[in-house]
Copies of this chain bind each other. A is one copy, B any other.
Amino acid sequence: MDNFDRQILSILQRDASVPLKELAEAVNLSTTPCWKRVKKLEDEGYIRGKVVLLDPVRLGLGLSVFVQLKTQHHDNAWLEHFAETVVRFEEVVEFYRMSGEWDYMLRVVVSDIAAYDRFYKKLITSTEGLSNITSSFSMEQIKYTTALPLPR
């Protein structure tokens, strides 16, 4: 992981549609060595995949809801079962196990409050052992990026 690699990752995580030739020029390599580095970064797991990002608002999915959850169960078996259930819901785009007051946090993407309510009912009927839930509604997504802060 040298400087070349970091530059390559930095460009590709912002725009993966640049042709290899341009990418190579940008980092001052010729195509083949640059290509070999990209392949290596894929093989070594730095690059997890290439995807297209969609516009949630354009698709009528402009509402993000953050759901914070508490449970009494703190054993691994319960967590595994719970995680499996929650992960299956397509509306759940992010899911974290937290320290502090709340045990879990989700980000749920839906079209509107009515759709969120449907999701909420689905969630509480399909999981057990939750002692507390709170939902916080986002009014506006001011920033959303998949680009990680790479050390330069």
Contact = CB atoms under 8 A, between A and B. Distances in A.
Interface of A: 9, 12-17, 44-56, 58-59, 61, 64, 66, 83, 86-87, 90-102, 104-105, 109-110, 136-150
A112 B35 CA distance: 32
Contacts of A83: 142
A83 to B, nearest CB: 5
A16 B13 contact: no
Q: How many identical chains are in the complex?
A: 2
B102 A136 contact: yes
B51 A53 contact: yes
A97 B136 CA distance: 11
A96 B17 CA distance: 28
Contacts of A110: 149
B45 A58 contact: yes
Contact of A47 (B52, B90, B144, B150): B52
B50 A54 contact: no
